[in-house]
Amino acid sequence: PTAAPPSEGAPPPGGVESTVALFVDGPATPGRQAVCLGALIHARWVLTSGACGAAKWASVGGGGDVEVAMFVAHPSFAGWSGGSDVALAMLKGEGAVGARHVL
């Protein structure tokens, strides 16, 4: 997906701002790196990989950090080698997330 140029305002649905970076470390951790990516499908729900279960923080569209309140992997998820590698991460609050970010 591509984002609209800054002069055109918010990106279209599916644009970059609906991309979520998931982190294990909190926002104050120097040099932290995203462990997974996901897609914002609701103001508080992220569709991601079942392998991302260790994530505790999320950054939506490069904005502020929001805590991950709950992580629900597919009941048949059996790790990297198995199938059903899909999960939902519920964000603790909407934080800086706006409706324009949702797919």
What does each of the 103 residues of the chain score in pLDDT, given as a tens digit? Answer: 444 444 445 555 555 578 899 999 888 888 888 899 999 998 899 999 999 999 999 998 877 889 999 999 999 998 877 789 999 999 997 655 555 566 6
What pLDDT, on the 0 to 100 scale, is given for residue 103? 61
Is CATH 3.50.50.60 the right assignment for the domain spanning 6-101? Answer: no
Under DSSP, is residue 67 helix (H, G, I), strand (E, B) or coil? strand
Closest C-alpha to 53, from 31, 63, 65, 38: 38
Instruction: Indicate the domain borders of the chain.
Output: 6-101
Helices (H), the chain: none
Distance in angstroms (rounded) separating the CA atoms of residues 29 and 94: 22
Residue 17, pLDDT score: 76
Query: Three-class SS of residue 8?
Result: helix
pTM (two decimals): 0.75
Amino acid present at 51: A
Q: Which residues pair with 71 in a beta bridge?
A: 89
